[in-house]
């Protein structure tokens, strides 16, 4: 599993909305795009997505699997303090 950070560009439609058309892989490129006068009404939306290499990778790194691994490491006292029991 790899976590990829993207900077989506919401292109102003001339009315009330910004429609996501594309993304940059780094913030500097997104900000340079936004600085152009033609794009002053566009928005930058920071997103993170998980990219899995296989179905097995997905099952081993799903949110539920990660939570289960984290909870298994806690002592009963720690679970009590955290309000989990």
pLDDT in tens, 30-53: 999 999 999 988 999 999 999 999
DSSP secondary structure letter of residue 38: G
Q: What's the confidence (pLDDT) of residue 54?
A: 96
Given pLDDT bands bounded at 50, 70 and 90, which one contains residue 85?
confident
In this structure, the strands spanning 43-51 and 18-24 are unpaired
pTM over 0.75: no
Q: What's the confidence (pLDDT) of residue 73?
A: 96
Containing structural domain, residue 36:
2-81
**What percent of the chain clears pLDDT 90, i.e. is strictly above it?**
85
Residues 71/79, Cβ–Cβ less than 8 Å: yes
- The whole-angstrom separation of Cα 84 and Cα 51 is 30
- How many domains does the chain divide into? 1
């Amino acid at each position: 599993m790899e976590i990829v950070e993207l900077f989506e560009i919401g292109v102003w439609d001339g009315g009330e909305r910004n429609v996501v058309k594309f993304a940059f892989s780094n913030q500097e490129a997104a900000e340079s795009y936004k600085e152009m006068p033609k794009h002053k009404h566009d928005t930058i939306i920071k997103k993170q997505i998980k990219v899995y290499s296989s179905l097995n990778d997905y099952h081993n790194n799903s949110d539920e699997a990660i939570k289960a691994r984290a909870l298994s490491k806690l002592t009963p006292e720690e679970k009590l303090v955290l309000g989990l029991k």
